[in-house]
Structure 1
Amino acid sequence: MFSSSLRTVARTQVRSFAKKAAPKKAAAPAAASGGGSDLAHQPSLKLFGVHARYATATYVAASKAGSLDAVETELLAIDSVTKSNPAFSSFLKDPTVAPSAKETQINSIFGDKISDITVNLMSALAGNARLSETDKVVGAYSELMKAKRGEVAAVITSAAPLSKAVADQVTAALKTKVGSAKVVLSMEVDPTIMGGLQVQIGDEFVDLSVASRIDAVSRSINGPQLSEL
Protein backbone atom coordinates (compact mmCIF):
# COMPACT_ATOMS: atom_id res chain seq x y z
CA MET A 1 0.00 0.00 0.00
CA PHE A 2 0.99 3.60 -0.50
CA SER A 3 2.19 4.78 2.92
CA SER A 4 0.86 7.96 4.52
CA SER A 5 4.27 9.61 4.24
CA LEU A 6 4.45 8.89 0.52
CA ARG A 7 0.89 10.13 0.07
CA THR A 8 1.99 13.39 1.64
CA VAL A 9 4.99 13.61 -0.69
CA ALA A 10 2.81 12.98 -3.73
CA ARG A 11 0.26 15.61 -2.70
CA THR A 12 2.99 18.17 -1.97
CA GLN A 13 4.76 17.58 -5.28
CA VAL A 14 1.55 17.82 -7.29
CA ARG A 15 0.54 21.07 -5.57
CA SER A 16 4.06 22.50 -5.97
CA PHE A 17 4.30 21.60 -9.65
CA ALA A 18 0.79 22.86 -10.38
CA LYS A 19 1.58 26.19 -8.73
CA LYS A 20 4.75 26.61 -10.81
CA ALA A 21 3.09 25.47 -14.04
CA ALA A 22 0.02 27.67 -13.69
CA PRO A 23 0.08 30.81 -15.84
CA LYS A 24 0.97 33.97 -13.95
CA LYS A 25 -2.14 35.79 -15.14
CA ALA A 26 -4.68 33.16 -15.97
CA ALA A 27 -7.83 34.35 -17.68
CA ALA A 28 -11.04 33.93 -15.73
CA PRO A 29 -12.62 30.58 -16.59
CA ALA A 30 -15.70 30.59 -18.77
CA ALA A 31 -18.98 29.90 -17.04
CA ALA A 32 -19.94 26.25 -16.98
CA SER A 33 -22.55 25.29 -19.53
CA GLY A 34 -25.70 24.28 -17.78
CA GLY A 35 -27.85 22.76 -20.51
CA GLY A 36 -25.66 22.68 -23.60
CA SER A 37 -25.06 19.44 -25.44
CA ASP A 38 -21.75 17.60 -25.36
CA LEU A 39 -21.28 18.53 -29.03
CA ALA A 40 -20.56 22.15 -28.14
CA HIS A 41 -17.73 21.02 -25.84
CA GLN A 42 -16.11 18.40 -28.08
CA PRO A 43 -12.40 18.99 -28.85
CA SER A 44 -11.47 20.17 -32.34
CA LEU A 45 -9.05 17.25 -32.73
CA LYS A 46 -10.40 13.72 -33.09
CA LEU A 47 -8.22 11.10 -31.42
CA PHE A 48 -8.82 7.36 -31.38
CA GLY A 49 -8.12 4.52 -28.96
CA VAL A 50 -8.68 3.79 -25.29
CA HIS A 51 -6.44 6.61 -24.02
CA ALA A 52 -8.17 9.07 -26.34
CA ARG A 53 -11.59 8.09 -24.95
CA TYR A 54 -10.51 8.88 -21.39
CA ALA A 55 -8.86 12.12 -22.50
CA THR A 56 -11.83 13.24 -24.60
CA ALA A 57 -14.35 12.51 -21.83
CA THR A 58 -12.19 14.52 -19.43
CA TYR A 59 -11.87 17.36 -21.97
CA VAL A 60 -15.66 17.56 -22.39
CA ALA A 61 -16.20 17.60 -18.62
CA ALA A 62 -13.51 20.26 -18.14
CA SER A 63 -14.93 22.37 -20.99
CA LYS A 64 -18.37 22.33 -19.41
CA ALA A 65 -16.84 23.41 -16.10
CA GLY A 66 -14.67 26.10 -17.72
CA SER A 67 -11.54 24.45 -16.33
CA LEU A 68 -9.69 23.07 -19.36
CA ASP A 69 -6.42 24.81 -18.49
CA ALA A 70 -6.63 23.96 -14.79
CA VAL A 71 -7.17 20.27 -15.52
CA GLU A 72 -4.27 20.28 -17.97
CA THR A 73 -2.01 21.78 -15.29
CA GLU A 74 -3.09 19.15 -12.76
CA LEU A 75 -2.58 16.27 -15.18
CA LEU A 76 0.89 17.53 -16.13
CA ALA A 77 1.68 17.79 -12.42
CA ILE A 78 0.61 14.19 -11.83
CA ASP A 79 2.67 13.07 -14.83
CA SER A 80 5.69 14.95 -13.48
CA VAL A 81 5.33 13.33 -10.06
CA THR A 82 5.01 9.92 -11.68
CA LYS A 83 8.33 10.44 -13.47
CA SER A 84 10.17 11.91 -10.49
CA ASN A 85 8.77 9.78 -7.64
CA PRO A 86 9.65 6.07 -8.01
CA ALA A 87 7.35 5.06 -5.14
CA PHE A 88 4.34 6.75 -6.69
CA SER A 89 5.18 5.33 -10.11
CA SER A 90 5.47 1.82 -8.64
CA PHE A 91 2.10 2.24 -6.96
CA LEU A 92 0.45 3.16 -10.26
CA LYS A 93 2.00 0.19 -12.07
CA ASP A 94 1.71 -2.44 -9.30
CA PRO A 95 -0.49 -5.25 -10.71
CA THR A 96 -0.80 -6.96 -7.31
CA VAL A 97 -3.00 -4.19 -5.85
CA ALA A 98 -6.68 -4.66 -6.65
CA PRO A 99 -8.31 -1.92 -8.77
CA SER A 100 -10.81 -1.15 -5.99
CA ALA A 101 -7.96 -0.70 -3.51
CA LYS A 102 -6.12 1.59 -5.93
CA GLU A 103 -9.27 3.62 -6.44
CA THR A 104 -9.56 4.10 -2.67
CA GLN A 105 -5.90 5.09 -2.46
CA ILE A 106 -6.25 7.60 -5.32
CA ASN A 107 -9.16 9.30 -3.58
CA SER A 108 -7.14 9.32 -0.36
CA ILE A 109 -4.04 10.77 -2.05
CA PHE A 110 -5.76 13.58 -3.89
CA GLY A 111 -9.16 14.02 -2.23
CA ASP A 112 -10.04 17.71 -2.44
CA LYS A 113 -6.46 18.74 -3.27
CA ILE A 114 -7.21 18.88 -7.01
CA SER A 115 -10.35 19.34 -9.10
CA ASP A 116 -13.14 16.78 -9.07
CA ILE A 117 -12.66 16.28 -12.81
CA THR A 118 -9.03 15.23 -12.44
CA VAL A 119 -9.83 13.07 -9.41
CA ASN A 120 -12.67 11.39 -11.33
CA LEU A 121 -10.32 10.60 -14.22
CA MET A 122 -7.67 9.11 -11.95
CA SER A 123 -10.33 7.19 -10.04
CA ALA A 124 -11.74 5.79 -13.29
CA LEU A 125 -8.26 4.74 -14.43
CA ALA A 126 -7.72 3.04 -11.08
CA GLY A 127 -11.08 1.25 -11.13
CA ASN A 128 -10.45 -0.02 -14.66
CA ALA A 129 -6.88 -1.16 -13.91
CA ARG A 130 -5.36 1.47 -16.23
CA LEU A 131 -3.39 3.63 -13.82
CA SER A 132 -0.18 2.37 -15.42
CA GLU A 133 -1.32 4.13 -18.61
CA THR A 134 -1.77 7.53 -16.95
CA ASP A 135 1.06 9.07 -18.98
CA LYS A 136 -0.62 8.09 -22.27
CA VAL A 137 -3.94 9.59 -21.18
CA VAL A 138 -2.18 12.78 -20.09
CA GLY A 139 -0.40 12.87 -23.44
CA ALA A 140 -3.71 12.54 -25.29
CA TYR A 141 -5.28 15.34 -23.23
CA SER A 142 -2.27 17.55 -23.98
CA GLU A 143 -2.73 16.88 -27.70
CA LEU A 144 -6.36 18.00 -27.45
CA MET A 145 -5.30 21.17 -25.65
CA LYS A 146 -2.60 21.94 -28.23
CA ALA A 147 -5.22 21.65 -30.96
CA LYS A 148 -7.50 24.01 -29.02
CA ARG A 149 -4.70 26.59 -28.81
CA GLY A 150 -3.84 26.16 -32.50
CA GLU A 151 -0.46 24.63 -31.69
CA VAL A 152 1.46 22.07 -33.72
CA ALA A 153 4.05 19.97 -31.89
CA ALA A 154 7.36 19.52 -33.68
CA VAL A 155 10.32 17.40 -32.59
CA ILE A 156 13.72 18.00 -34.18
CA THR A 157 16.29 15.24 -33.73
CA SER A 158 19.94 15.99 -34.47
CA ALA A 159 23.23 14.17 -33.96
CA ALA A 160 24.51 17.01 -31.76
CA PRO A 161 22.82 19.92 -29.99
CA LEU A 162 21.79 22.67 -32.42
CA SER A 163 22.96 26.23 -31.94
CA LYS A 164 20.28 28.84 -31.29
CA ALA A 165 20.81 30.31 -34.75
CA VAL A 166 20.22 26.96 -36.47
CA ALA A 167 17.25 26.17 -34.20
CA ASP A 168 15.70 29.53 -35.11
CA GLN A 169 16.19 28.80 -38.81
CA VAL A 170 14.50 25.41 -38.44
CA THR A 171 11.61 26.97 -36.52
CA ALA A 172 11.14 29.61 -39.21
CA ALA A 173 11.11 26.93 -41.91
CA LEU A 174 8.51 24.91 -40.00
CA LYS A 175 6.28 27.97 -39.59
CA THR A 176 6.06 28.34 -43.35
CA LYS A 177 4.72 24.77 -43.47
CA VAL A 178 2.03 25.08 -40.78
CA GLY A 179 0.72 28.52 -41.72
CA SER A 180 -0.90 30.39 -38.86
CA ALA A 181 -0.50 27.54 -36.37
CA LYS A 182 1.93 28.04 -33.51
CA VAL A 183 4.91 25.67 -33.60
CA VAL A 184 5.76 24.14 -30.22
CA LEU A 185 9.31 22.95 -30.78
CA SER A 186 11.32 20.43 -28.79
CA MET A 187 14.85 19.27 -29.51
CA GLU A 188 16.31 15.79 -29.10
CA VAL A 189 19.85 14.52 -29.62
CA ASP A 190 20.55 11.10 -31.15
CA PRO A 191 24.19 10.50 -32.21
CA THR A 192 23.17 7.39 -34.19
CA ILE A 193 21.67 9.50 -37.00
CA MET A 194 25.27 10.66 -37.65
CA GLY A 195 24.29 14.07 -39.04
CA GLY A 196 21.45 15.97 -40.65
CA LEU A 197 18.02 16.14 -39.05
CA GLN A 198 14.91 14.12 -38.38
CA VAL A 199 11.72 16.16 -38.18
CA GLN A 200 8.45 15.03 -36.64
CA ILE A 201 5.69 17.62 -37.06
CA GLY A 202 2.21 16.53 -36.13
CA ASP A 203 1.78 13.08 -37.69
CA GLU A 204 4.30 13.75 -40.48
CA PHE A 205 7.86 12.45 -40.27
CA VAL A 206 10.73 13.63 -42.49
CA ASP A 207 14.10 11.88 -42.28
CA LEU A 208 16.96 14.07 -43.54
CA SER A 209 19.63 12.29 -41.52
CA VAL A 210 23.00 11.09 -42.82
CA ALA A 211 22.17 7.60 -41.55
CA SER A 212 19.05 7.44 -43.73
CA ARG A 213 21.02 8.58 -46.78
CA ILE A 214 23.65 5.90 -46.19
CA ASP A 215 20.89 3.34 -45.84
CA ALA A 216 19.30 4.52 -49.10
CA VAL A 217 22.64 4.25 -50.95
CA SER A 218 23.19 0.80 -49.48
CA ARG A 219 19.77 -0.35 -50.68
CA SER A 220 20.36 1.04 -54.15
CA ILE A 221 23.69 -0.83 -54.38
CA ASN A 222 22.37 -4.11 -53.02
CA GLY A 223 18.98 -3.95 -54.71
CA PRO A 224 19.99 -5.14 -58.21
CA GLN A 225 22.16 -7.89 -56.76
CA LEU A 226 19.30 -9.13 -54.61
CA SER A 227 16.87 -9.04 -57.55
CA GLU A 228 19.13 -11.32 -59.56
CA LEU A 229 19.09 -14.06 -56.90
Structure 2
Amino acid sequence: MATNAHKPPIDLHGLHARYANATYVAASKGNMLETVENELAGIKLTATNSTAFKNFLENPLISRDDKEKTVSDMFSGKVSNVTMNLMMTLAGNAKLAEAPKIADTYSQLMKAKRGEVEATIISADPLTKAQVTAVEAAMKNQVGSGKSVILTTEVDPSILGGLQVQIGDQFLDLSVGSKIDSISRTTV
Protein backbone atom coordinates (compact mmCIF):
# COMPACT_ATOMS: atom_id res chain seq x y z
CA MET A 1 0.00 0.00 0.00
CA ALA A 2 1.22 3.48 -0.82
CA THR A 3 2.46 5.58 2.04
CA ASN A 4 1.11 9.11 2.30
CA ALA A 5 4.39 10.49 0.94
CA HIS A 6 3.78 8.69 -2.37
CA LYS A 7 -0.02 8.87 -2.45
CA PRO A 8 -1.51 10.60 -5.52
CA PRO A 9 -2.59 14.16 -4.66
CA ILE A 10 -6.22 13.68 -5.75
CA ASP A 11 -8.57 10.72 -5.72
CA LEU A 12 -9.44 9.53 -9.20
CA HIS A 13 -11.42 6.40 -9.93
CA GLY A 14 -12.02 4.05 -12.83
CA LEU A 15 -9.88 1.94 -15.12
CA HIS A 16 -7.55 4.72 -16.28
CA ALA A 17 -7.11 5.98 -12.74
CA ARG A 18 -6.13 2.55 -11.40
CA TYR A 19 -3.21 2.34 -13.82
CA ALA A 20 -2.31 6.04 -13.46
CA ASN A 21 -2.41 5.87 -9.65
CA ALA A 22 -0.18 2.79 -9.54
CA THR A 23 2.23 4.41 -12.00
CA TYR A 24 2.25 7.62 -9.93
CA VAL A 25 3.11 5.71 -6.74
CA ALA A 26 5.91 3.77 -8.47
CA ALA A 27 7.28 6.94 -10.09
CA SER A 28 7.12 8.81 -6.77
CA LYS A 29 9.03 6.04 -5.00
CA GLY A 30 11.64 6.12 -7.78
CA ASN A 31 11.80 9.94 -7.69
CA MET A 32 10.90 10.13 -11.38
CA LEU A 33 7.42 11.67 -11.51
CA GLU A 34 8.32 14.23 -14.21
CA THR A 35 10.31 11.70 -16.25
CA VAL A 36 7.33 9.35 -16.40
CA GLU A 37 4.99 12.25 -17.18
CA ASN A 38 7.15 13.21 -20.17
CA GLU A 39 7.43 9.61 -21.36
CA LEU A 40 3.67 9.06 -21.16
CA ALA A 41 3.06 12.34 -22.97
CA GLY A 42 5.41 11.12 -25.70
CA ILE A 43 3.55 7.82 -25.99
CA LYS A 44 0.24 9.67 -26.24
CA LEU A 45 1.67 12.03 -28.86
CA THR A 46 2.99 9.10 -30.89
CA ALA A 47 -0.40 7.37 -30.69
CA THR A 48 -2.02 10.58 -31.93
CA ASN A 49 0.42 11.22 -34.77
CA SER A 50 1.29 7.70 -35.92
CA THR A 51 -1.47 5.63 -37.46
CA ALA A 52 0.72 2.52 -37.36
CA PHE A 53 1.43 2.91 -33.61
CA LYS A 54 -2.23 3.66 -32.86
CA ASN A 55 -3.31 0.59 -34.85
CA PHE A 56 -0.79 -1.53 -32.95
CA LEU A 57 -2.17 -0.33 -29.60
CA GLU A 58 -5.79 -0.91 -30.63
CA ASN A 59 -5.55 -4.11 -32.71
CA PRO A 60 -7.26 -6.93 -30.76
CA LEU A 61 -6.04 -9.53 -33.28
CA ILE A 62 -2.41 -9.21 -32.13
CA SER A 63 -1.84 -11.74 -29.33
CA ARG A 64 -0.85 -10.57 -25.87
CA ASP A 65 2.49 -12.36 -26.20
CA ASP A 66 3.21 -10.59 -29.49
CA LYS A 67 2.21 -7.24 -28.01
CA GLU A 68 4.44 -7.81 -24.97
CA LYS A 69 7.40 -8.71 -27.20
CA THR A 70 6.82 -5.69 -29.45
CA VAL A 71 6.47 -3.34 -26.45
CA SER A 72 9.65 -4.77 -24.95
CA ASP A 73 11.54 -4.32 -28.23
CA MET A 74 10.08 -0.86 -28.82
CA PHE A 75 10.67 0.67 -25.39
CA SER A 76 13.57 -1.27 -23.88
CA GLY A 77 16.38 1.13 -22.97
CA LYS A 78 14.34 4.13 -24.17
CA VAL A 79 12.02 4.71 -21.22
CA SER A 80 12.24 4.43 -17.44
CA ASN A 81 11.51 1.12 -15.75
CA VAL A 82 8.25 2.60 -14.39
CA THR A 83 6.95 3.45 -17.86
CA MET A 84 8.20 0.11 -19.19
CA ASN A 85 6.38 -1.76 -16.41
CA LEU A 86 3.16 0.13 -17.17
CA MET A 87 3.35 -0.61 -20.90
CA MET A 88 4.19 -4.28 -20.31
CA THR A 89 1.29 -4.58 -17.84
CA LEU A 90 -1.07 -2.95 -20.34
CA ALA A 91 0.15 -5.34 -23.06
CA GLY A 92 -0.32 -8.35 -20.78
CA ASN A 93 -3.79 -7.22 -19.76
CA ALA A 94 -4.89 -6.39 -23.34
CA LYS A 95 -5.28 -2.72 -22.36
CA LEU A 96 -2.68 -1.02 -24.60
CA ALA A 97 -5.44 0.93 -26.36
CA GLU A 98 -6.02 2.72 -23.03
CA ALA A 99 -2.44 4.09 -22.85
CA PRO A 100 -3.31 7.61 -24.16
CA LYS A 101 -6.17 7.99 -21.65
CA ILE A 102 -3.96 6.67 -18.84
CA ALA A 103 -1.36 9.28 -19.87
CA ASP A 104 -4.06 11.98 -19.60
CA THR A 105 -5.07 10.76 -16.15
CA TYR A 106 -1.43 10.67 -14.99
CA SER A 107 -1.05 14.23 -16.29
CA GLN A 108 -4.08 15.21 -14.22
CA LEU A 109 -2.37 13.81 -11.10
CA MET A 110 0.80 15.75 -11.89
CA LYS A 111 -1.10 19.01 -12.40
CA ALA A 112 -2.76 18.51 -9.01
CA LYS A 113 0.66 17.84 -7.44
CA ARG A 114 1.99 21.11 -8.90
CA GLY A 115 -1.13 22.98 -7.74
CA GLU A 116 -2.22 23.74 -11.29
CA VAL A 117 -5.90 24.31 -11.95
CA GLU A 118 -7.09 24.18 -15.54
CA ALA A 119 -9.63 26.74 -16.62
CA THR A 120 -11.25 27.46 -19.96
CA ILE A 121 -12.83 30.76 -20.88
CA ILE A 122 -15.23 30.78 -23.82
CA SER A 123 -16.09 34.18 -25.27
CA ALA A 124 -17.99 35.37 -28.35
CA ASP A 125 -14.98 37.39 -29.53
CA PRO A 126 -11.25 36.89 -28.92
CA LEU A 127 -10.18 38.35 -25.57
CA THR A 128 -7.57 41.09 -25.47
CA LYS A 129 -4.39 40.60 -23.45
CA ALA A 130 -5.76 42.97 -20.78
CA GLN A 131 -9.00 40.98 -20.55
CA VAL A 132 -7.12 37.69 -20.23
CA THR A 133 -4.94 39.19 -17.47
CA ALA A 134 -8.04 40.44 -15.62
CA VAL A 135 -9.73 37.04 -15.87
CA GLU A 136 -6.55 35.26 -14.67
CA ALA A 137 -6.35 37.58 -11.66
CA ALA A 138 -10.00 36.93 -10.78
CA MET A 139 -9.50 33.18 -11.12
CA LYS A 140 -6.41 33.16 -8.91
CA ASN A 141 -8.60 34.59 -6.15
CA GLN A 142 -11.11 31.78 -6.73
CA VAL A 143 -8.68 28.83 -6.69
CA GLY A 144 -6.82 29.93 -3.58
CA SER A 145 -3.23 30.54 -2.63
CA GLY A 146 -0.51 28.11 -3.60
CA LYS A 147 -2.27 27.17 -6.82
CA SER A 148 -1.74 28.46 -10.32
CA VAL A 149 -4.31 28.78 -13.08
CA ILE A 150 -3.57 27.25 -16.49
CA LEU A 151 -5.91 29.27 -18.67
CA THR A 152 -7.05 28.45 -22.17
CA THR A 153 -9.37 30.62 -24.18
CA GLU A 154 -11.83 29.63 -26.87
CA VAL A 155 -14.03 31.65 -29.18
CA ASP A 156 -17.66 30.64 -29.78
CA PRO A 157 -19.74 33.31 -31.55
CA SER A 158 -22.95 31.41 -30.75
CA ILE A 159 -22.86 32.63 -27.12
CA LEU A 160 -23.42 36.18 -28.48
CA GLY A 161 -21.56 37.93 -25.65
CA GLY A 162 -20.40 37.50 -22.09
CA LEU A 163 -18.36 34.50 -20.95
CA GLN A 164 -18.62 30.83 -20.16
CA VAL A 165 -16.11 29.67 -17.55
CA GLN A 166 -15.02 26.08 -16.88
CA ILE A 167 -12.79 25.53 -13.82
CA GLY A 168 -12.20 21.85 -13.21
CA ASP A 169 -15.65 20.30 -13.04
CA GLN A 170 -17.44 23.60 -12.34
CA PHE A 171 -19.17 25.46 -15.17
CA LEU A 172 -20.43 29.04 -15.00
CA ASP A 173 -22.49 30.39 -17.90
CA LEU A 174 -22.50 34.20 -18.01
CA SER A 175 -23.26 34.35 -21.73
CA VAL A 176 -25.85 36.56 -23.39
CA GLY A 177 -27.16 33.52 -25.27
CA SER A 178 -28.05 31.69 -22.03
CA LYS A 179 -29.72 34.81 -20.62
CA ILE A 180 -31.87 35.13 -23.77
CA ASP A 181 -32.78 31.43 -23.50
CA SER A 182 -33.83 31.78 -19.87
CA ILE A 183 -35.91 34.89 -20.61
CA SER A 184 -37.63 33.21 -23.55
CA ARG A 185 -38.44 30.15 -21.39
CA THR A 186 -40.04 32.30 -18.68
CA THR A 187 -42.14 34.41 -21.05
CA VAL A 188 -43.64 31.54 -23.02
When normalised by structure 2's length, the TM-score is 0.90
- Equivalence for 2:134: 169
- Listed as ranges, the matches of 1:133-212 within 5 Å are 133-180=98-145, 181-212=147-178
Task: Give, in whole Å, the separation in 1 of the partners of 2:172 and 2:36.
Answer: 33
Task: Give, in whole Å, the separation in 2 of the partners of 1:126 and 1:150.
Answer: 32
Question: Cα gap change, 1:91/1:192 in structure 2, threshold over 3 Å: closer, same or farther?
Answer: farther
Q: For residue 193 of structure 1, what is the amino acid of its counterpart?
A: I
What is the RMSD computed on CA atoms of the aligned residues?
1.7
Q: Aligned match of 1:106 in 67, 71, 80?
A: 71
Whether 1:56 aligns to 2:21 is yes
CA-to-partner distance for each residue in 1:2-38, whole Å, 9 max, x for gaps? xxxxxxxxxxxxxxxxxxxxxxxxxxxxxxxxxxx62
Aligned-partner SS, 2:29: helix
- Equivalence for 1:227: none
**Runs of at least 5 residues in structure 1 that lack an aligned partner in the other structure:** 1-36, 223-229
Aligned length: 186
Whether 1:38 aligns to 2:9 is no
Question: Cα gap change, 1:91/1:47 in structure 2, threshold over 3 Å: closer, same or farther?
Answer: same
After TM superposition, give the deviation of residue 171 of structure 1 in Å: 0.6
- Equivalence for 2:38: 73
**Runs of at least 5 residues in structure 2 that lack an aligned partner in the other structure:** none
Aligned-partner SS, 1:148: helix
Task: Give, in whole Å, the separation in 2 of the partners of 1:192 and 1:100.
Answer: 51
Task: Give, in whole Å, the separation in 2 of the partners of 1:104 and 1:113.
Answer: 15
CA-to-partner distance for each residue in 1:165-185, whole Å, 9 max, x for gaps? 111111111011011111111
Q: Aligned match of 1:91 in 56, 78, 87?
A: 56
Question: Cα gap change, 1:108/1:191 in structure 2, threshold over 3 Å: closer, same or farther?
Answer: farther
Task: Give, in whole Å, the separation in 2 of the partners of 1:114 and 1:221.
Answer: 62
After TM superposition, give the deviation of residue 154 of structure 1 in Å: 1.1
- Equivalence for 2:92: 127
After TM superposition, give the deviation of residue 141 of structure 1 in Å: 0.8
CA-to-partner distance for each residue in 1:24-61, whole Å, 9 max, x for gaps? xxxxxxxxxxxxx6213111211111111110000000
After TM superposition, give the deviation of residue 123 of structure 1 in Å: 1.9
Task: Give, in whole Å, the separation in 1 of the partners of 2:160 and 2:66.
Answer: 49
Question: Cα gap change, 1:178/1:218 in structure 2, threshold over 3 Å: closer, same or farther?
Answer: same
Question: Cα gap change, 1:157/1:64 in structure 2, threshold over 3 Å: closer, same or farther?
Answer: same
Task: Give, in whole Å, the separation in 1 of the partners of 2:70 and 2:159.
Answer: 44
CA-to-partner distance for each residue in 1:36-92, whole Å, 9 max, x for gaps? x62131112111111111100000000000000111111111111222222222222
Aligned-partner SS, 2:78: coil
